[in-house]
Amino acid sequence: DAKTTQPNSMESNEEEPVHLPCNHSTISGTDYIHWYRQLPSQGPEYVIHGLTSNVNNRMASLAIAEDRKSSTLILHRATLRDAAVYYCILRAYNNDMRFGAGTRLTVKP
Amino acid sequence: EPEVTQTPSHQVTQMGQEVILRCVPISNHLYFYWYRQILGQKVEFLVSFYNNEISEKSEIFDDQFSVERPDGSNFTLKIRSTKLEDSAMYFCASGLDRANSPLHFGNGTRLTVT
């Protein structure tokens, strides 16, 4: 399985942008880059995913490096509700999704 | 918005007993999954299910575990003889596609084995 590397934790101030990095240097050409988050006492929640191009949705933006060896999840204006563990995961058609340890995001008021 | 529902939210059982955890995936989804999360640890993949058979399973999913989609709407995880170390949150998930679509997770069943 292609692995991802994320910082253990990050802090942000409320209403400021947050950039959550993820390295995946062994990514293969058919791996999709997925981001999920897990709020306290809840199940994982889908945030965004992409293959090669940058993606935007109502929750976040995903910036994918040209060589696809890294990506960044961008929360444009962090709120207290965005405090969660964020997981960067590679998904391939021949393997099912595995979670790593993720990045614990703390949002300060 | 459709969602994955899991019942019960909390199940307490004695060691050695059988438990069945139930899930109703989103109706047009084709891929179904069980994950578990022991308190304070990461989310672990257990099994995936497609076209009425297991697609992939992890080393955790041993002979004590089984899955079934008995009626086209429910998706169940059975643990035949529970052990103390089976205590965890169990999450069901479903998706349209194996890689290029989101997985939708339920809010989980907390299993406590005493």
Is the bond leading into B8 cis (omega within 30 degrees of zero)? yes
Q: Does A91 touch chain B (CB under 8 A)?
A: yes
Query: Any residues with CB less than 8 A from the CB of A82 and at least 6 apart, and which?
Result: A12, A18, A37, A75, A105, A107
pLDDT bracket for residue A1 (50, 70, 90)? low
CB A90 within 8 A of CB A30: no
Residue A29, Cβ neighbours under 10 Å: how many? 8
pLDDT per residue as tens digits for the range A4-50: 999 999 999 999 999 999 999 999 988 999 999 999 989 999 999 99
User: How would you classify residue A69: left for phi > 0, otherwise alpha for psi between -120 and 50, otherwise beta?
Assistant: alpha
Q: Does A30 touch chain B (CB under 8 A)?
A: yes
Q: Is the pLDDT of residue A2 over 70?
A: no
pLDDT per residue as tens digits for the range B38-54: 999 999 999 999 999 99
What integer pLDDT is reported at residue A95 of this predicted model?
A: 74
Q: Is the pLDDT of residue A54 over 70?
A: yes
Q: Which of B45, B102, B104 is nearest residue A96 as measured by Cβ atoms?
A: B45
What integer pLDDT is reported at residue B72 of this predicted model?
A: 80
